[in-house]
Amino acid sequence: YISVVEALRHAGVAHHAGIDLRWVDAESLEKNDRPAAEIFQGIDGILVPSGFGSRGIEGKIAAIRYARENNLPFLGICLGMQCAVIEFARNVCRMAGANSAEFAPDGPYPVINLLPGQAQETMKGGTMRLGLSSVRLRKGTKAYEAYQQETINERHRHRCEVNPGLLGELEQGGLVVSGVFTGRDLVEIVELPDHPWFVATQFHPEFKSRPHRPHPLFQGFVGAALCHRVSAGHHPVNNQ
């Protein structure tokens, strides 16, 4: 996750703030040994990065639920975005058993599905959607506010997507699709409009962040975390 860590630091420099990272083992959230409020005490934002496989998935979903319910700034990346959609489906849209078809192929609500053609692939190596693709942003959203433009280009590495067949129910529940792939209606960014900062992307924004050109979404996330820090009365984190 070095690219994610560096992207956070780039954004911290832009805000004249240091970044104090606290790593949380997702599996520890599944054990219920300690309440989430204790694990996340004193933090100002939660970032759930990309990953593969089902290990720790329920812990990631629990972390996202905590961020959503406690108005804690959240940024999800790739699998982190897919977990955010699953959490929203289960706990807001009341889709009991909602999951990814990758982890629960026979589940009642596969809100995350394999991309077209992926289900037929038996050899998964080299079959993902890779590389740079254009994304169209929706005006009036946090994503558009961060980028200040309608079309962007971002790098991808995934084989799953938000299930278009269940997207309508998610949107009725309040989930906003703020970015889509220009080639077809593939969901690229989701967010919650009534949350201080709850944004999740299918692409990898960390790959385009640079020391003197922080990625807009990381800047937005860190900015929201700083606002939370002030409002919560936490000690400042000085830039070092």
Which of the residues are catalytic? 78, 204, 206
From residue 7, give the alpha-carbon distance in Å to each of 99, 221, 232. 29, 11, 24
The helix-helix angle for 57-69 and 79-91 (nearest 10°) equals: 60
Query: Can you say whether residue 213 is alpha, beta or left, with left for phi > 0 and alpha for psi between -120 and 50 degrees?
Result: beta
- Locate the DSSP E strands across the chain: 46-48, 74-77, 99-100, 110-114, 129-137, 151-158, 160-162, 176-181, 187-191, 198-201
